[in-house]
């Protein structure tokens, strides 16, 4: 696999380069410019929405798939990404952790069991994360299918913690996910990139990548 990496000098960029070490990094984008050593067949972007236009242009130029984990995307950003997916395979998610995506499935399939209970979410991330609430908290709330209060903490270097609390008059149930390091997201990005290089054009979720992995 020949891949391009947007945000190659950032913290996630370094994690991705280590996890993708068996593959060939042929194009890098960072604050100082674009560095080309070959033609990628997939791009990985976990950077910032301010460079999204560059990412989309490069994917179109090379006919390369896209794995995008950028958060705080606006409606017009998603529209542009879905337009690209008419021409190349795109995997988009606000969280590429296997555990979070399994949790999303469990919440969606059991949501009716929690009817009548109070539900609230607490999400914690490092103090440099700008979007509040996190994209992950949003997808967990959507999985529950109802409006849920979300409380956000931005402290220290926490990669990402999410806890959903369910309570009635007599009991409290909490379900938590704790990301030990950013590497978990890079591992998910590798699965998604391997999926992209063989997938048909289209817009895919990371949940679809996980189901594809099970069938291999």
Residue pLDDT, tens place only, 142-193? 999 999 999 999 999 999 999 999 999 999 999 999 999 999 999 999 999 9
Q: Span 101-127, mean pLDDT?
A: 96
Q: Does domain 2-92+183-214 match CATH 2.40.50.140?
A: no
CA distance 67 to 23: 15
* 69 annotated as belonging to a binding site for a ligand: yes
Decide if 166 contacts 120 (C-beta within 8 A). no
Task: List pLDDT tens digits, range 24-74.
Answer: 999 999 999 999 999 999 999 999 999 999 999 999 999 999 999 998 899
CATH architecture group of domain 98-180? 2-Layer Sandwich (3.30)
The SS3 assignment for 107 reads helix
* pLDDT at residue number 213: 80
Contact 17, 25 (CB under 8 A): yes
12 in a known ligand binding site: yes
Phi, psi torsion values for 210, nearest 5 degrees: -60, -40
Q: What is the pLDDT of residue 72?
A: 86
Whole-number Å distance between alpha carbons of 155 and 175: 21
Q: Is 123 helix (H, G, I), strand (E, B) or coil?
A: strand
Q: Is pLDDT at 197 greater than 80 in this prediction?
A: yes
Is 21 a known ligand-binding residue?
no
Q: What is the pLDDT of residue 130?
A: 84
Domain ranges of the chain: 2-92+183-214, 98-180
Q: Tell me: is residue 157 an annotated ligand-binding position.
A: no
Element (H, E) at 202: strand 202-204
Q: What is the DSSP letter of 200?
A: P
**Residues forming the active site:** 125, 129
3-state helix, strand, coil in the chain (%, to 5): 40, 25, 35
pLDDT mean across residues, the chain: 96
Q: Is the predicted pLDDT of residue 214 greater than 80, yes or no?
A: no
Residue 37 marked in a binding site: yes
* Location of structure tokens 């791009």: 43
């Amino acid at each position: 696999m020949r891949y391009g990496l947007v945000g190659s000098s950032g913290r996630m960029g370094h994690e991705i380069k280590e996890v993708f070490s068996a593959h060939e990094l042929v194009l890098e984008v960072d604050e100082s410019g674009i560095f080309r050593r070959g033609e990628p067949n997939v791009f990985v972007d976990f950077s910032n929405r301010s460079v999204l236009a560059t990412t989309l242009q490069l994917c179109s130029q090379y006919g390369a798939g896209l794995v995008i984990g950028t958060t705080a995307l606006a409606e017009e950003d998603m529209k542009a990404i879905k337009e690209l997916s008419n021409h190349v395979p795109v995997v988009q998610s606000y969280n590429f952790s296997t555990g979070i995506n399994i949790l999303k499935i469990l919440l969606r399939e059991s949501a009716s069991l929690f009817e009548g209970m109070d539900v609230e979410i607490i999400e914690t991330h490092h103090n440099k994360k700008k979007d509040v609430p996190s994209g992950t908290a949003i997808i967990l709330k959507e999985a529950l299918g109802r409006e849920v209060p979300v409380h956000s903490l931005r402290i220290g270097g926490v990669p990402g913690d999410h806890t959903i609390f369910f309570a009635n008059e007599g009991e409290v149930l909490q379900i938590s996910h704790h990301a030990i390091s950013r590497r978990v997201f890079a591992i998910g990005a590798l699965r998604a990139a391997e999926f992209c290089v063989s997938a048909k054009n289209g817009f895919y979720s990371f949940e679809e990548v996980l189901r594809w992995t099970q069938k291999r």
